[in-house]
Amino acid sequence: MANSWVLTDTTAIFQTLTHGTITVTRATYDAFDPAVQDINVTHQFYTYGYHEYSSTYKTNIGINDVSLADMQTALVNNPTPIGDTFAGPGWVYHGTGVDGAIINITVDEGHILDPGVVQRRATIVDGKYEIVTNGIDEGYFAIINKTQFIVDGVWGGAGENLIIYLAQHGKLSWNDPRVERIMLAMHMEEHCFPAEIPIPTSAANQSPISSLTVGSTVLSFDPHSPRVLGETLSAPLAPARVTRLFTNITDEWLVITPAEGELARTGAEAFELTVTPGHEMLDAFGRFRKAIDIVNTDARLVRADGRVVKVEYSRVVFSAATAHLYEEAEILVARSEGGLALQPEVMRGWKNCNFEVETYHTYVAGGFRVCNNSLFDPQTKFGALGDNVGPLISSKADIRRCGTLTGDEGFTVSFDDLSCAGRISNTLGSEVRCMKILQTKLETMARIVEW
């Protein structure tokens, strides 16, 4: 067996030790960074040396449901866990494989897992599609790819993105149980508002969130336009179209009100905003973060007019004594044990609503600037890990020399501490300490808990 790439006139083939071959076109190989061309199973240049990994995602989508061409199109548009760039252009680029496979290449000195190559292919097993991901690597974070539950988390989330993509493009129905399962799971940590929360539809009008329909116009804003400067945000509001609606239930609300003395200090009008703890709102630094994270740290939010206000909050939890406070709802939750389907359970709580907005995925709710990107938070524990670890390992820069990545699943990766000034935490308790100069890059890829 060859230890490195074997070249032909049209292809380059790498025989892994245990996961078959990775095959790219010769043109793709010729465009590789020299470090990628030099990957070799005998190399021990880094702490962990050469390593390889594999993950298979079973879509449960049959060949009679979606054509192979449509599945491959979905794969081309979702080659990584985060769209077609994986944490932004510059860290990963894409090449061409064979038989419909797509290839991701980590850029030298631009990704913690460089140099590396990932091959993803849609295969058919027993009439259903499986997405097989194979990778080879000599990067600094071999532990990430040597830990199977992390690999499955990162690439399992990428697999579920394919199903959502197929639904978005009319190849699967939103009512398809396979789609509903993912969408429901995405909402296990709710990101919504009560049915009666007012949503501005123009400068002069507003409507309850529950009355919006697909095609309704709401006010949105560019999250990348000028950020919060001092006490105001200069991003103007403009009309945008609602593209999707969501309803679910929650058993907990945050009730957000002005901090003591804030109305007198700012001249703002009195307000009371009810929101689920996980909904992302705009904070005083121009970042979208979970409502609960903001109110427990800086506790400043951005109003519709751009003013920054200090807030406080109380919790309301669903119970017999509080159920009447908001519109009630219930859903059936499917259960199973092994391969046995069990009687569904009735989950009761308060009805909540959310929607997707075209282009910027931002809107105003109850007088505050928020976003709907939280609709696409990870749906499972593995998905949570993939959503948080994946972007972090894609943000290499000098992070490998500055910080600590720890997790509640028994893995720890440490770096030298060089004037660290921040912390990024994910939903599984992992954190990275990084240099302040990386804040802008990192905050677009993970929730900032504290700076």
Residues paired with residue 11 on neighbouring β-strands, in sequence order = 25
Q: Which of 344, 376, 408 is the last residue of a domain?
A: 376
Q: Considering the chain, what is the average pLDDT of its residues? A: 75
Q: What residues make up the domain containing 74?
A: 5-184
Q: Is the pLDDT of residue 21 over 80?
A: yes
CATH of the domain at 74: 3.30.530
Structure tokens at 444: 């677009």
In terms of domains, do 146 and 80 share one? yes
Q: Which of 322, 344, 376 is the last residue of a domain?
A: 376
Whether residue 201 is contained in a domain is answered as yes
* More reliable by pLDDT, 325 or 109: 325
Q: Which of 341, 376, 411 is the last residue of a domain?
A: 376
In terms of domains, do 345 and 419 share one? no
In terms of domains, do 246 and 289 share one? yes
**pLDDT tens profile 346-397:** 678 898 899 989 888 899 999 999 998 644 333 333 334 344 444 444 443 3
Whether residue 382 is contained in a domain is answered as no
In terms of domains, do 360 and 427 share one? no
Distance CA 282, CA 302 (A): 6
In terms of domains, do 98 and 46 share one? yes
CATH of the domain at 293: 2.170.16.10
Q: What is the pLDDT of residue 47?
A: 52
Counting the structural domains of the chain, the total is: 3
In terms of domains, do 256 and 372 share one? yes
The pLDDT confidence band at residue 30, using thresholds 50, 70 and 90, is very high
Whether residue 389 is contained in a domain is answered as no
Whether residue 327 is contained in a domain is answered as yes
Residue burial 349-377, b: 16+ Cβ < 10 Å; e: rest? bbbbbbbbbeebbbbbbbbbbbbbbbbbb
In terms of domains, do 294 and 407 share one? no
Q: Is the pLDDT of residue 431 over 50?
A: no
In terms of domains, do 270 and 155 share one? no
In terms of domains, do 339 and 203 share one? yes
In terms of domains, do 362 and 284 share one? yes
Whether residue 40 is contained in a domain is answered as yes
Q: What percent of the chain has pLDDT over 90?
A: 36
In terms of domains, do 136 and 275 share one? no
Whether residue 391 is contained in a domain is answered as no
Whether residue 384 is contained in a domain is answered as no
| Other residues' Cβ atoms within 10 Å of the Cβ of residue 264 | 9
pTM of the model: 0.51
Whether residue 446 is contained in a domain is answered as yes
In terms of domains, do 303 and 413 share one? no
